[in-house]
Amino acid sequence: MLGGPSAEREVSLRSGAAVAGALRSLGHEVHELDPRDESWVLPPKTNVVFLALHGTYGEDGTVQRRLDELGALYTGCDAEASRIAFDKVLTKQRCVEARVPTAKFLVVNSEKIPWPKGWQPPLVVKPVRQGSSVGLQFVERIEDWQKALAEALKFDSEVLIEEKIVGRETTVGILGDEPLPIVEVRPKVGSYDYKNKYTAGRTEYFCPAEFDSATTKRVQAAALGAFQAIGGRDYARVDVMVRDGGEPMVLEVNTLPGMTETSLLPKAAAAAGLNYAQLCQRMVELALKRKLVTV
């Protein structure tokens, strides 16, 4: 399943096309299904639905619930874990409960809310339920506060306000129940926003990231802790900021991470010795395992 109705449709089409090509190269029969609306039907004798959807509908638990009703096997997290992970506030709450390190935060639902008492810039403002850095704003000055809120609120009725963590930007892929090598992300200009994320050549990636072994273990443990806190299964990608002293701070969990040519989970898998096609195969196998368990 690829495409879909979300703001991330174009990226999803690219992810899905790459996955379909890889699975066909392994000899699988692959049917591409674009669920633009609720009228979609699975092809007969579908063994596994490979979810290459991103954003609302695909990543928020909606399509997973429908597939559960159909009794279909599908890749990735179940409906409830997807719902929690797609909601940045629920994810933060689960992390706090599980003592997974994450930045101080609050939730705002109006552009008229004044600057939060006791907070200092810089802050990060982002829609509660969007992915791929859609609507992400950085507030470096108090006078930019209202404008940032208005922009982020275009994409959701609530926005998450976080202290901006200064440090190195990383992401950790989880495959099975194991963290993959850490990827460090360094945009050449500006922040790791939608444009830098999906335009080849605008961002440098280092994998495995150059941390000492103790810091590497801390960052991977934080990522795995967040994955477990939201009830994740099969795979995900967890974004983690690493302070200068080596302290990890989890930002969010992506339950259906990008699978395009610039995506980070395939880079991490490659560093662990899995090429792109092998990664896709492993994702399918993790879903098929559930059939063996339930029989």
In whole angstroms, give the CA distance from residue 269 to residue 178. Answer: 11
The catalytic position among 6, 15, 196, 254 is: 254
Give the model confidence (pLDDT) of 57-75 as tens digits.
Answer: 999 999 999 999 999 999 9
Give the model confidence (pLDDT) of 163-217 as tens digits.
Answer: 999 999 999 999 999 999 999 999 887 666 666 566 667 889 999 999 999 999 9
Give the model confidence (pLDDT) of 131-153 as tens digits.
Answer: 757 889 999 999 999 999 999 99
First-residue to last-residue Cα distance in the chain: 25
105-163 homologous superfamily:
ATP-grasp fold, A domain (3.30.1490.20)
pLDDT band at 281 (very low <50, low <70, confident <90, very high): very high
- 3-class secondary structure, 195: helix
In whole angstroms, give the CA distance from residue 92 to residue 293. Answer: 31
Question: What sign results for the dihedral spanned by CA atoms 68, 71, 73, 74?
Answer: negative
Q: Give mean pLDDT, residues 220-229.
A: 98
The catalytic position among 14, 94, 252, 276 is: 252
Q: Is the pLDDT of residue 1 over 70?
A: yes
Percent of the chain at pLDDT exceeding 90: 87
The β-bridge partners of 161 are 106, 125
- What the block records as the tokens of 271 is 């560093």
Q: What is the mean pLDDT of the chain?
A: 93
For residue 200, the tally of other CB atoms under 10 A from its CB is 8
Question: What sign results for the dihedral spanned by CA atoms 192, 184, 242, 155?
Answer: positive
Query: Which of 16-20, 21-25, 44-48, 259-263 has the lowest average pLDDT?
Result: 259-263
Is residue 132 annotated as a catalytic residue, yes or no?
A: yes
Is residue 14 annotated as a catalytic residue, yes or no?
A: no
Is residue 192 annotated as a catalytic residue, yes or no?
A: no
Domain locations along the chain: 84-101+166-278, 105-163
* 197 touches 247 (CB < 8 A): no
pLDDT band at 295 (very low <50, low <70, confident <90, very high): very low
pLDDT band at 260 (very low <50, low <70, confident <90, very high): confident
In whole angstroms, give the CA distance from residue 102 to residue 126. Answer: 15
The pTM (predicted TM-score) of the whole model is 0.91
In whole angstroms, give the CA distance from residue 66 to residue 82. Answer: 13
| Residue with more model confidence, 196 or 111 | 111
The catalytic position among 8, 162, 193, 234 is: 8
Q: What is the pLDDT of residue 254?
A: 95
Is residue 15 annotated as a catalytic residue, yes or no?
A: no
The catalytic position among 9, 83, 168, 237 is: 237
In whole angstroms, give the CA distance from residue 251 to residue 179. Answer: 16
Is residue 254 annotated as a catalytic residue, yes or no?
A: yes
Tell me the residue length of the chain. 295
pLDDT band at 108 (very low <50, low <70, confident <90, very high): very high
Q: What is the pLDDT of residue 201?
A: 77
- 3-class secondary structure, 91: helix
In whole angstroms, give the CA distance from residue 108 to residue 91. Answer: 16
Cα-based torsion angle of the residue sequence 212, 215, 219, 225 in order, rounded to the nearest 10 degrees: 130
Q: Give mean pLDDT, residues 38-64.
A: 95
The catalytic position among 61, 173, 225, 258 is: 258
Cβ contacts of 196 within 8 Å, gap of 6 or more: 187, 188, 189, 190, 202, 203
Query: Which of 169-183, 220-234, 262-276, 280-294 has the lowest average pLDDT?
Result: 280-294
Q: What is the pLDDT of residue 126?
A: 93
Residue type, 277: A
Is residue 258 annotated as a catalytic residue, yes or no?
A: yes
Is residue 143 annotated as a catalytic residue, yes or no?
A: no
Q: Closest Cα to residue 48, out of 26, 23, 25?
A: 23
| CATH top class, domain 84-101+166-278 | alpha beta
pLDDT band at 130 (very low <50, low <70, confident <90, very high): confident
Cβ contacts of 231 within 8 Å, gap of 6 or more: 77, 78, 80, 81, 84
* 59 touches 82 (CB < 8 A): yes
- 3-class secondary structure, 248: strand
In whole angstroms, give the CA distance from residue 173 to residue 254. Answer: 9
Question: What sign results for the dihedral spanned by CA atoms 200, 205, 7, 134?
Answer: negative
* 274 touches 280 (CB < 8 A): no
Q: What is the pLDDT of residue 184?
A: 97
Percent of the chain at pLDDT exceeding 70: 94
The catalytic position among 82, 132, 196, 263 is: 132
The catalytic position among 3, 55, 74, 198 is: 198
Q: What is the pLDDT of residue 222?
A: 98
